[in-house]
Amino acid sequence: ESLRDEEELVAAAVQQNGRAFRHASPRLRCDTHFARRALALDPASLPSASDDLRADSGFMLQALRSIGPSALEHAAASLLADRVFAIESVRLQGGCLDFLHESFRADAEVVAIAATAPVGPGWRVLEIAAEALRGDGECLLAVMGQSVLALSLASVALLEDRGFMLQAVQRDWQALRFAGDALRADREVVMAGAGGDPAAPG
């Protein structure tokens, strides 16, 4: 039993095989400093960290940086339902949205942050977002900042909304190709998209 509580011995075992962490003493599996060390030695140690640590935002964000979004498979349900943690995680990697509580798929701010994360699915995050967000103008405009192709996933109603399309084409004239037929023939919408760009339709 005492060997399971010997830090250097356990660390050596974890370095060889991260799953060995499950044989460590309860004290070590609950110890933030040692669990972080184990995680750095081998990410496979994560499932053996204590329940409290897997509910700890700082610890799980470190795991996310080491492993990627799949680290959240081992996070506590309470953490996955925490909005502050949700925002922090999708800001690091947009693909985390797939592992968070399903309510965040309908959260326009969380989805927009996920779309613009440095690592992740980018505008395609809308494919896993709630269907209702495809008709959310503010959300689509935010995701459009990553790529105008976000409009390929917008609702038909939104693409036929004159106010929305005026804003969209002002940001990127290529948005015009996704507009409804009537709006593609609307001179004001077309001119709003031109915006001085010689390549834009006029």
Whether the CB-CB separation of 87 and 110 falls below 8 Å is answered with yes
Q: What is the pLDDT of residue 180?
A: 95
Q: What is the pLDDT of residue 201?
A: 54
Q: What is the pLDDT of residue 196?
A: 39
Q: What is the pLDDT of residue 59?
A: 98
Q: What is the pLDDT of residue 194?
A: 79
> 7 CB contacts (<8 Å, ≥6 apart)?
28, 34
The three-class DSSP label of residue 51 is coil
Low-confidence ranges of the chain (pLDDT < 70): 1, 195-202
Q: What is the pLDDT of residue 2?
A: 84
Q: What is the pLDDT of residue 66?
A: 94
pTM exceeds 0.95, yes or no = no
